[in-house]
Amino acid sequence: MEKPSASAASPAGAPTEEAADRLHSLAIHLLRAVRREDDASGVTAPHLSALSVLVFGGARTIGELAGAEQVRAPSMTRIVDNLERGGLALRERDPRDARRVRVRATDTGVQVLREGRARRIAALAAKLAGLTDDEMDAVRSATAVLERVLRG
């Protein structure tokens, strides 16, 4: 089955849709390229993703963490169980409501995630190292624009 062209679907938005399509593809390939660095952490991608939410977003309930990761609570419970076994996360009673349990990253979890992030950034920096000054200026400008787009 042939995919309809962006211009057939939306003549007025064709350049925007083409840019969105290219950006989507690029983002996926870029993440795949740097995700290879995650193997060095010894932690699976779903576990690193959940750990990232805890490190950068703070302690969460299982339900909140499942919502952030777009998985069901039983799946997140298994992920948190594994993070706990690995010493990367810890369940604690919520100080404001003893009925609630929150999950937080341990110091080891924070360290694993930060080291992984540093490896990803180094890998990406190595790919950018061959760019000219003008190309790097263009990357910085595009990054600023994309950050603005994401902020909505």
| 103 within a domain of the structure (yes/no) | yes
| 15 within a domain of the structure (yes/no) | no
The pLDDT value given to residue 20: 92
Q: What is the pLDDT of residues 41-81, one digit of tens each?
A: 889 989 999 999 999 999 999 999 999 999 999 999 999 99
Determine contact, residues 13/2, Cβ cutoff 8 Å.
no
| 21 within a domain of the structure (yes/no) | no
| 118 within a domain of the structure (yes/no) | yes
Give me 33's structure tokens. 């390229």
At what angle are helices 73-85 and 45-57 packed, to 10 degrees? 90
pLDDT-based confidence at residue 5 (cuts at 50, 70, 90) = very low
Residue 118 has pLDDT above 70, yes or no: yes
The pLDDT value given to residue 12: 56
| 11 within a domain of the structure (yes/no) | no
The pLDDT value given to residue 102: 96
d(CA 111, CA 28): 26
Domain span at residue 51?
A: 34-151
d(CA 110, CA 115): 9
| 25 within a domain of the structure (yes/no) | no
Other C-beta atoms closer than 10 Å to the C-beta of 132 total 8
| 6 within a domain of the structure (yes/no) | no
Q: Domain containing 118 — which CATH number?
A: 1.10.10.10
Residue 152 has pLDDT above 60, yes or no: yes
| 49 within a domain of the structure (yes/no) | yes
Q: Which residues contact 114 (CB under 8 A, 6 or more apart)?
A: 55
The domain tally of the chain equals 1
Percentage with pLDDT > 90 across the chain: 75
Among candidate residues 113, 121, 57, 50, the one with its CA nearest the CA of residue 83: 50
